[in-house]
Amino acid sequence: MNLLLTGTLLAGLLTAPATPTPTATWTVKAPAGGPVATVHLDSQGSPSVAVSRGGASVLAPSPLGVTTEQADLTTGLSLTGRSSRAVVEKYTTTAGKRLDRLSVMNETRFRFARGDAKLDLVVRAARDGVAYRYELPGAGAVLGEASAFTVPAGSTAWLAGHRRDYENPFIQYADVPPAEYQMPALFGVGQNYLLLAESALNGSYTGPHLVSDQGTYKIALWDARVPYDHGLTTPWRVMVTGDLATVTESTLVDDLAPGSQLTDTSWIKPGKVLWSWLAGGRPVQQSLESQKEFVDYAAQHRWPYVLVDAGWYDDPVTGERAWTDRTAEFTWIPQLVEYGRARGVGIMVWLRFSDFDTHDKRVQRFGLLHQWGVKGVKLDFIDSEAQERLQWYDGTLRDLADNQLMVNFHGSTVPKGINRTWPQVMTMEGVHGAEKSSNLTTSHLAALPYTRNEIGSMDYTPMAFQRPSRPTSDAHELALSVVFESGLTNLAGSLEAYRARPEAERFLDQVPTVWDETRLLSGKPADHTVMARRSGDRWFIGAGVSGAARTLQVPTGFLRGRWLVEVTRDGAAGLVREPHVVQGGALAVDVPAEGGFAAIACRWRPGLTTCAR
């Protein structure tokens, strides 16, 4: 449910001729402290924005404006009006860092004109960052943005090269080479961090990426021409800033997104998913008997879902890898759904984008899946942020909701507030994840909580214990079930690998996939993460390091009173579980190179020896 409380404080209507005005500067301040956005209009009528926090520069003056087919709205602008308001929103989500949200922002709207052409710049400032967007009236086409981000010199960067499916690794840079990079992008700026991101992208616009040049990161658009017919509101350009905990725990990207399009979300149920692709590939996806084994395991451990991946609807006669008129005839998915239903396990299925690329296909095929009783789908190989593909997302999200199907998008864009607007979106790929057989490093894993996973649920697919190529220790891998957030967590282990690790099974049986609260206890991008997430009256802690063995000092002051903390860590002969009773202070945990630990904390009482329920 969304509750919007808006207080509008008119700052006065300013009038000016449609010629450049003298240099002028305005500020937009976050409520109760936080960053300050400074909007400047120079003597040529070119606007810019800068961001500071605690008096320190976080973003140097950076250009603003758009170019349309009708006018160049990057220069020659005059301010014709300005108004301010407070925006306070309470809402709930179905996934994410915390389910209940409160957003408080100050907003200023700047009305610019150049002759008859008009451009509104809307700037918001919140405790955890600053954002802006443009609004244009009438009809026309955008040809590009002047929007860019000038990061102060000497900043450290954690960036991933631009790729249409967002599946490149994050790399730490002291000096960033000229190249194209994806958003989100993270920078260490003095004592602060700055995350560049986007919110509220849909089919009315087109996707962005960053082009770097000597500390400035310009927005480049996917489409060279973006038409609009009835006015245009662009996505938000988001700058999350603060200390590392503030940035990591921020929900600003969601806060800026439109409210939910659904009135009934009772059918949306996040949870753990037993996923067999990395345990056997296509042959396992084509075997009813193999999938029944996975259902039996899920039922034994009370994991709510099994996902059948690519291959299940390949034609058994022709080998055609596409949905055909015969798919409903030969598939055994309805049998598996019934088998799972009898055991309390829901079935999800993989789908290829090209088989669902029109509304008519989706109506018929989503309807059939719903009729069978399928709970959700994994839609793959979307591979574009062009305006026409974003319009496909818009239609597909409505069609999925009409058929009560949860969705995990793969080969896709990344979350940009999508779960707030469409609560059935449980997770998205858009990550260099566990499926990669090369160039998967713990330094990349230790950058993800502050970059890709900061902006929304991430389908990394952890727990592939059977893969010799994974860079993590067993305890580090187990910790990823907490370190990484995903409304549907696709767990990639083989049944044999799970059974060989009873302490991993014990932990995974208890860990949830949605959270009431998230806290970063300790961290440094590309070096280590210690993340705590609360579900009800228990806390789950996950930690992973990149590089050498060390002793992690885990602060426990957030646990008020006396608590039992059960730590599962790497031992000489495998995973071991150790209980600790803590009351404030720090808990020291030794971890090996590339190692980590997973823990459960519950309030201690006399005689309590375990947090298990």
Rounded to 10°, the helix 333-341/288-301 angle is: 20
The DSSP symbol for 356 reads G
Q: Quickly tell me which residue has 């404006």 as its tokens.
A: 65
Q: How far apart are CA 333 and CA 481, in angstroms?
A: 28
225 Cβ neighbours under 8 A, 6+ residues apart? 69, 141, 142, 143
Task: Count the Cβ atoms, other than its own, within 10 Å of residue 226.
Answer: 22
Q: Which one-letter amino acid corresponds to residue 441?
A: T
Which two tokens mark 14? 């300013």
Residue from 108, 124, 137 nearest 26 by CA: 108
Let me know: does 444 contact 169? Beta carbons within 8 Å.
Answer: yes
Residue 486 · residue 513 · CB < 8 Å? yes
Q: How far is CA 365 from the centre of its chain?
A: 28
- Name the residue among 10, 158, 149 with its Cα closest to residue 86: 10
Task: Tell me whether residue 5 is exposed, middle or buried, using C-beta atoms within 10 angstroms of its C-beta: 0 to 12, 13 to 18, 19 or more.
Answer: exposed
Q: CA geometry: angle at 315 spanning 314 and 317, to 5°?
A: 140
Distance of alpha carbon 580 from alpha carbon 177, whole angstroms:
47
Side chain identity at residue 69, one-letter code:
E
Closest CA to 159 of 412, 451, 440: 451
> How far is it, in rounded angstroms, from Cα 544 to Cα 472?
8
Q: Where in the sequence numbering do the catalytic residues fall? A: 380, 435
Task: Give the span between the Cα atoms of 73 and 70, in whole angstroms.
Answer: 9
Looking at the DSSP assignment, which residues form a beta bridge with residue 576?
Answer: 569
232 within 8 A of 205, measured Cβ to Cβ: yes
DSSP per residue, 240-262: EEESHHHHHH--HHHHTSPPPS-
Largest CA distance in the chain: 78
Tell me the CB-side half-sphere exposure of residue 481, using CA atoms within 13 A: 31
Six token digits for residue 238: 């988001």
CA distance 107 to 307: 43
The two structure tokens encoding residue 335: 């049998």
How many other CB atoms sit within 10 Å of the CB of residue 92? 15
CB 481 within 8 A of CB 578: no
Three-state secondary-structure class, residue 162: coil
Contact 276, 298 (CB under 8 A): no
If residue 477 lies in a helix (H) or strand (E), which one and from where to where?
helix 474-483
